[in-house]
Structure 1
Amino acid sequence: MNPDDNYLDIIENNEIWHDVIEHQKYLFFGDDDISWYVWDSEANEFQLLYKPSGEIMETFESCDAMIIEALEKVLD
């Protein structure tokens, strides 16, 4: 992994994802092939969203719980 890779730039990636008006309520932490890991500012919760539809696949009690879930998926 290259630390200079723009893919790792959370600010730049959020600017790109916020081009879609419906996405402006989210703070995007990351994504994988089919989902986004976000904080929903309107619902005040951390969520896993299905990319094609934006449907909530899962909610998390905290940012820690969301990050642990994402790491477990990557490490499996």
Structure 2
Amino acid sequence: MWKDKLEKIKTEFEKDFGFIFNNPASDNEISKLEINFFKKFKVKLPSQYLEFLKYINGIEFDGFIIFSIDKDMLDNDINQQVKGIIDFNEILYENEFNKDYIFLADRDISWYVYNIKDKNFNILDKPSGEVMETYNDFYSILDSVLEEYIENNL
């Protein structure tokens, strides 16, 4: 399960580097994000992504970033400054092709997205934009990334 894997990584980072990950987003912050995202992009964020934010408001480690709630919607400061999901999608939506997706996470050579039309989750190759992998849910992508990190680093 992704939560167990994330806890293992958090424990190691705190022990080895004294690094503290972000706290969960509040219900008020989630609500502000949902409203503002829908106003800007006319699409709802995937529920599993929102649930993830209730566990940890964005994360960045080993070149992998899951976007947080944008700074202007936060009620409190966060420990780790992570790219905001609205700001990031705004930049990528300048390209018409990218409007088929909600960009949820970023990695060195990949984007992790929600495919709006197909209602599934994809890993896209950054240079080409081609779909490399498809998942039915956000948690499966998250679990895969965390497992890869644990296998290679812990």
- How big is each residue's C-alpha offset from its partner over 1:22-71, in whole Å with a ceiling of 9 and x where there is no partner? 00110001111110000011111100000111111101121110111222
CA shift, 1:15, in A, is: 0.8
Query: 2:119 pairs with 44, 59, 63, which one?
Result: 44
| Aligned-residue CA RMSD (Å) | 1.7
Residues of 2 paired with 1:73 and 1:29: CA distance?
Answer: 18
Structure with higher strand content: 1
Following superposition, which runs of at least 4 residues in structure 1 exceed 4 angstroms of deviation? none
Q: Which residue of 2 aligns with 1:66?
A: 141
SS at match of 1:59: strand
Deviation of 1:9 after TM superposition, in Å, equals 0.7
Query: Which of 1 and 2 has greater Rg?
Result: 2
Give the count of matched residue pairs.
Answer: 74
SS across alignment from 1:46: strand
User: Percent of counterpart pairs with the same letter?
Assistant: 36
Secondary structure, counterpart of 1:24 in structure 2:
helix
Q: Normalization by structure 2: what TM-score?
A: 0.44
Q: What is the rounded CA distance, in whole Å, between the counterparts of 1:28 and 1:71 in structure 2?
A: 18
Match of residue 20 from structure 1 = 95
For residues 14 and 74 of structure 1, the distance between their equivalents in structure 2, rounded to whole angstroms, comes to 26
Gaps of at least 5 residues in structure 1 are: none
